Structure 1
Amino acid sequence: MEKDILRKLIEKYLKGNCTLEEIAAIHEWYNSFEDEQDFVNFISSQQQQELKQRLLANIKRNIASEDIRLKEIHNRRNISRTLIYVLSGVAATIILTIGVFFKMQKSPSRPDLGDVHVVNMTKTIQRLALSDGSIVWLNPKSKVIYPQNFTSSLRKVQMQGEAFFEVSPDPRRPFIIFSGNVITRVWGTSFRIRAYENIPVEVSVLTGKVSVQLQTKEDSELILLPQQTATYLKATDLLKKGIEKKTSKMSIWHKETLTFDNEPIRDVIKVLNAQFKVNISTADEKLLDYVLKADFTDQSLPAILEMLRKSLNVENEISDNGIILYTDNN
């Protein structure tokens, strides 16, 4: 990319006037020079600092990926050591520790060397990309364990809390999630699992077909189709099949196509609230005057919020009462 063109594009980016395509180009260019020290010396020091702060999340993700590889080599002889990710804000803090960070209920699948442990300590839903192309959307205060690379015959994941899975199709390798005493098997579909300690475990299907059964009962298998649920009642040790309620929060995971042509965020919020049946508000009045130009094709609400975070630096917090948008000016 020519420096004169690049300088103008960076200035446009820092003013918040880039399209989503231009933002993606800036991110790709920045990441391609992560090992060079002077690749931004053609812009002012103030612009360099602001650019680096804006792209901090991308830099941290690159660093995290490399640290995993190096630590895995260093600890190859010590099987008791595990890699733990603690997600805080937009960055991932890597901790090397002895033993297992959180206690999973007994299951036939134990964490092995090279497993990735993710604990979402933020107030927003975190997007995780697995090695097979599957996506996990991890809710706040939730935990997941998955291998850096799945085996050739099986894809195993462990979780506690709440997560939405978008599983890449692979007929040769079933995708299996262990959540307490509940085992969920899929080959390619999208669904949500809620597996908190003190409430019944619930599996809700959005697309495709899902098999749910108890680890302790081989004859307990239920087959779920879209809009169907399976609930595990620990007191009776039974799985119960049901229909997704109309008031369910699964509506945020439905994929929609929305277009905004230089529309203020106040109007964007109204559209998102109506489309996804949620309550989005803002803690920052100035944010309401932000202008958005974007085409969201076949996207869920968490995916749209993730794009707003990356393109407009608009953060979000999930609560029982809805979603709060705010700007992070730090």
Structure 2
Amino acid sequence: MKSSEEKSLRYVLRHYKPGTFDTRRAIRKFELRRQGHTLHRTILMWVLGVAAIALFVYGLYGWFSTAEKVEPWTQLTAANHTETYVLPDSSRVTLYPESTLRYQKGKFGRRERSVLVSGKAYFRVNPDPACPFRVTGRYGTVRVLGTAFEFDEMSREGETVVYVTEGRVAFAVKETFGGIFLYPGMAASLKDGAGMPEEMYPDVPNPAAWATGTFVYENTPLEEVLRELSAYYGVRLSSEDTGKMLTAEFDTDEGVDGIVALIEQSLGTHINKE
């Protein structure tokens, strides 16, 4: 016999004694047991097969679902001159030449309004306490609720500089929380590899004049005013009355000659232009 069960059955039949063992009943029971094992194995294999097919189909469904959920990126650019764009939440961004901004339109506004910046950009963010606005560059991240500020990774090599004109921003290392808070007129710099931004004085009184279109001076030393105007218009301005203070507001469109004439009239001084 091939199996151990069949050998056991032959042993029982050889030692059978009348009145103590029913041979036919034993054979029937043995056959039913063997059929039961066969049926059990068949059902088990069927269940495993169905489960494998279901797992395969579920995997395909998950893959296709994930593929369908990949959001395309929208890219805004500025080539040779500044460009101003309106974002889906009606916030406005002005890009400095050779700068770009990217965001995923389908995800923008879900819990957070998130954009990626390369270069320099000025933001005027619509307030929305339920949905913070986040700007991320190579080194730093800025989070705001509603404010106006400049995000600059172009002017200084290996640094992110943030300058605030309205409201309040939280400035931190990229992909981290915490950091420092900045208020109107404040600026901070984050160097590549640093663990925390450091507060700094802006190089000029109006770092974001290129985007706002205005120069605002409040009791500002004339020397600082002339230094900013010289850098902005690409000229060299000087005056012997460097101790005088200026409080005024000018549009950048007025041009350097128009602004210089107004300053001379206001302060009763003479400004040299080279």
The TM-score, its normalising length taken from structure 1, stands at: 0.43
User: CA offsets per residue over residues 141-172 of structure 1, 9 Å max, x none?
Assistant: 11110233523421000011000011111111
Contact 1:231 1:239 in 2 (8 A): yes
More strand by share: 1
2:170 corresponds to 1:211: yes
Shift of 1:118: 2.2
Write the distance in 2 (CA, Å) between the matches of 1:152 and 1:299.
Answer: 39
> What is the letter of the counterpart of residue 190 of structure 1?
A
Write the distance in 1 (CA, Å) between the matches of 2:114 and 2:176.
Answer: 19
Q: Unaligned regions of 5+ residues in structure 1, if any? A: 1-75, 81-110, 258-272, 282-297, 306-330
User: CA offsets per residue over residues 97-144 of structure 1, 9 Å max, x none?
Assistant: xxxxxxxxxxxxxx9523201232x21101111010001101111111
Secondary structure in structure 2 of the residue aligned to 1:123: coil
2:119 corresponds to 1:161: yes
The TM-score, its normalising length taken from structure 2, stands at: 0.50
Write the distance in 2 (CA, Å) between the matches of 1:299 and 1:179.
Answer: 31
Write the distance in 1 (CA, Å) between the matches of 2:159 and 2:132.
Answer: 25
Residue number among 118, 130, 146 corresponding to 2:87 in the alignment: 130
Residue number among 180, 193, 197 corresponding to 2:151 in the alignment: 193
Residue number among 80, 83, 99 corresponding to 1:142 in the alignment: 99
Write the distance in 2 (CA, Å) between the matches of 1:179 and 1:195.
Answer: 7
Distance 1:208 1:156, change over 3 A: same
Write the distance in 1 (CA, Å) between the matches of 2:176 and 2:110.
Answer: 27
Write the distance in 2 (CA, Å) between the matches of 1:160 and 1:140.
Answer: 11
Structure 2 residue aligned with 1:241: 199
Distance 1:148 1:128, change over 3 A: same
Structure 1 residue aligned with 2:46: none
> What is the letter of the counterpart of residue 211 of structure 1?
A
Write the distance in 2 (CA, Å) between the matches of 1:148 and 1:299.
Answer: 37
Distance 1:170 1:136, change over 3 A: same
Write the distance in 2 (CA, Å) between the matches of 1:246 and 1:158.
Answer: 26
Q: Unaligned regions of 5+ residues in structure 2, if any? A: 1-63, 216-224, 236-248, 256-274
2:205 corresponds to 1:251: no
Distance 1:210 1:300, change over 3 A: farther
Distance 1:138 1:79, change over 3 A: farther
Structure 1 residue aligned with 2:55: none
Structure 1 residue aligned with 2:18: none
1:11-26 aligned within 5 A? none
Distance 1:112 1:224, change over 3 A: farther
Shift of 1:250: 2.2
Write the distance in 1 (CA, Å) between the matches of 2:90 and 2:71.
Answer: 21
Contact 2:93 2:123 in 1 (8 A): yes
1:110-121 aligned within 5 A? 112-120=70-78
Shift of 1:254: 4.6
Q: CA RMSD in A?
A: 3.8
> What is the letter of the counterpart of residue 180 of structure 1?
R
Write the distance in 1 (CA, Å) between the matches of 2:95 and 2:209.
Answer: 16
Write the distance in 2 (CA, Å) between the matches of 1:115 and 1:143.
Answer: 12
Contact 1:190 1:205 in 2 (8 A): yes
Secondary structure in structure 2 of the residue aligned to 1:249: coil
> What is the letter of the counterpart of residue 184 of structure 1?
V
Secondary structure in structure 2 of the residue aligned to 1:238: coil
Structure 2 residue aligned with 1:262: none
2:185 corresponds to 1:227: yes
Structure 1 residue aligned with 2:233: 279
Distance 1:211 1:156, change over 3 A: same
Distance 1:203 1:165, change over 3 A: same
Contact 2:163 2:207 in 1 (8 A): no
Contact 1:168 1:188 in 2 (8 A): yes
Contact 2:139 2:191 in 1 (8 A): no
User: CA offsets per residue over residues 239-291 of structure 1, 9 Å max, x none?
Assistant: 1112333355323445669xxxxxxxxxxxxxxx99x944289xxxxxxxxxx
Distance 1:115 1:235, change over 3 A: closer
Shift of 1:183: 1.1
% identical aligned pairs: 19
